[in-house]
Structure 1
Amino acid sequence: MTTIDDAEIAKFQAMAAEWWDPQGKFKPLHMLNPCRLDYITTQIAGEFDRDLTEGQPFAGLRVLDIGCGGGLLSEPMARLGAHVVGVDAAERNIPVAEAHAAQSGLEIDYRHTSAEALVEAGEPSFDVVLNMEVVEHVADPLAYLTACQRLLRPGGLMICSTINRNPKSYAMAIFGAEQVMRWLPKGTHEWSKFITPEELYNLIRRAGLDPVDRTGFVFNPLTWSWRLSERDLSVNYVTASVKPEA
């Protein structure tokens, strides 16, 4: 079984070479990344009682970065001491990620595969699954999230971000980012595949996880920066959920 959407994968295959260009097609992710990392590191540290002031606070944690792309999140996790497995269904992303990790002196286990394939292969469980900006690109969100749940150990943490579905998200994520600013190629996102926070919480629960937090990523066009918001989940947002102890 696979939830891979071949049409979605083709979009990211075409952009693979630009992952590490902060002014290229992935400029929005480069801009968002500090905000994403702030949320991710805080949630992991809180869940596993880690001190972020230490040199490698995530040492001993096994982290899966699904839809790793060029490694924008895998590399910071590795620098924080985690053992990182980065997977992507777009084959061209993997050599780009491997080359950049080698240049950075980082050891990251990159693989061209999917969450479902890891489950099928009996992959050892992870402490953390990073599932960032992926769920809106898969063919079956519930089946995909269920695979993510199966890859977590009991007590493990999944962090999942996506885009809300409403007129504002269409105006900003599609019309603004793709047509006006041209940060992304037209057609990168499909508004009908966006997921509301209530829908995502319901999917997460049905997949066997307990949601514990949801927070918005809010873009300020005046300061040209992103911030976290507990109230504003109108466009980009992120959730944290935990796998119940057996």
Structure 2
Amino acid sequence: MASKLLLSQLRNITRPTHHRLINPNFIFPLKNQTFIHSRPYSDAPQPPPVGSKPPPTKADSAPTHKKISSSLNQAELAKFSAIAETWWDAEGPFKPLHVMNPTRLAFIRSTLCRHFGKDPYSAKPFEGLKFVDVGCGGGILSEPLARMGATVTGIDAVEKNINIAQLHADLDPGTSSIEYLCTTAEKLVEEQRKFDAVLALEVIEHVAEPAEFCKSLSALTVSGGANVISTINRSMRAYATAIVVAEYLLHWLPKGTHEWSSFLTPEELVLILQRASISVQEMAGFVYNPLTGKWSLSDDISVNFIAYGTKNTE
């Protein structure tokens, strides 16, 4: 019953391509919600991997008695370090992100301009606001945010990513002011850094402890500030498209980029964020059109989805 109620309420915050205001008092009841726990997040069997045996889940491979103080996943860091030099190759391993970027930015501009009372048609709608791009990679999101006027800090735990991001940003006076740091969200929390908006796009599926990661995102956000997170749904459709098709058939991504058991469902993400004092206000899906080669916003959150939330006032 509890998960049916949550699914019903989740449908209320997903939206089609037109904008819809969400009731600011919208809250998911947590009583009797017991289906969020340490990875793996579901008792459902994992689909058979392509050409290999199923990878062990983190619950199988990590000792349950050891407390993890950081959300870093060393294996994931190694993956991205190996392809760091290709971040700005529009036809390279990060091509899907380059193609998706305009659609991600459309959602960010729409929701954050509404949140901060800014003009979405302004050339620099985020002027005067401090943003942090967590897991910034080579800076393909940080740079357009800076061009829209935001004071941007981009952080990544992979030093090669930060080096590439800094070199590329320095080529343009409009982005050279970005502060790039090889660090983690947890370390920024220790430094008591605060931002008007905290963004973590296509990152949470690569961290070891999503709940701890979201607590750090919340701690970095000023009271009443905004959060934007995007990821991939742990659905059979996502397994078929994001792994089988994208990695093994079309070779859009290197094989092994994603691990299906590390994906989060929208319900799980909403509850994790709520427990971190972030209330999800709006959610949308990304849908790819193979005929046009472009992505668009949709109310279909079965594969890729993005969520906008607000930090509860303290």
Shorter-chain TM range is over 0.9
Q: CA–CA distance in 2 between the matches of 1:192 and 1:54?
A: 41
Q: Does 1:99 align with 2:167?
A: yes
Deviation at 1:52, TM superposition (A): 2.3
Deviation at 1:62, TM superposition (A): 0.2
Q: CA offsets per residue over residues 52-74 of structure 1, 9 Å max, x none?
A: 22232111100000010111110
Tell me, what secondary structure is at the counterpart of 2:253? Answer: coil
| 211, 216, 219: which one aligns with 2:285 | 216
| 129, 138, 142: which one aligns with 1:61 | 129
Q: CA–CA distance in 1 between the matches of 2:71 and 2:135?
A: 13
Counterpart code for 2:75: A
Q: CA offsets per residue over residues 123-172 of structure 1, 9 Å max, x none?
A: 2x100011101111000000000000000001100000000011110110
Tell me, what secondary structure is at the counterpart of 1:242? Answer: strand
Q: CA–CA distance in 1 between the matches of 2:233 and 2:122?
A: 35
| 264, 271, 274: which one aligns with 1:202 | 271
* Partner residue, 2:306: 238
Contact 1:209 1:243 in 2 (8 A): yes
Q: CA–CA distance in 1 between the matches of 2:103 and 2:192?
A: 33
Tell me, what secondary structure is at the counterpart of 2:170? Answer: helix
Q: CA offsets per residue over residues 178-219 of structure 1, 9 Å max, x none?
A: 101111111010000011001110111111111101100011
Counterpart code for 1:234: S
Tell me, what secondary structure is at the counterpart of 2:112? Answer: helix
Q: CA–CA distance in 1 between the matches of 2:270 and 2:121?
A: 32
Contact 1:2 1:117 in 2 (8 A): no
Q: CA offsets per residue over residues 91-126 of structure 1, 9 Å max, x none?
A: 110110001100122210000001011111222x10
Greater radius of gyration (CA): 2
How many pairs were matched up?
A: 244
Give % identity: 48
Scaled by the length of structure 1, the TM-score of the pair is: 0.97
Tell me, what secondary structure is at the counterpart of 1:186? Answer: coil
After superposition, the CA RMSD in angstroms is 0.8
Indicate the structure whose relative CO is greater, using CA pairs within 8 Å and at least 6 residues apart: 2
Counterpart code for 1:92: K
Tell me, what secondary structure is at the counterpart of 1:92? Answer: helix
Deviation at 1:220, TM superposition (A): 1.2
| 147, 156, 167: which one aligns with 2:225 | 156
Counterpart code for 2:310: V
Q: Does 1:115 align with 2:173?
A: no
* Partner residue, 1:188: 257
Q: CA–CA distance in 2 between the matches of 1:192 and 1:29?
A: 21
Scaled by the length of structure 2, the TM-score of the pair is: 0.77
Counterpart code for 1:47: H
* Partner residue, 1:70: 138
Tell me, what secondary structure is at the counterpart of 1:17? Answer: helix
Deviation at 1:223, TM superposition (A): 1.8
Contact 1:63 1:128 in 2 (8 A): yes
Counterpart code for 1:242: T
Counterpart code for 1:122: Q
Q: Does 1:138 align with 2:242?
A: no
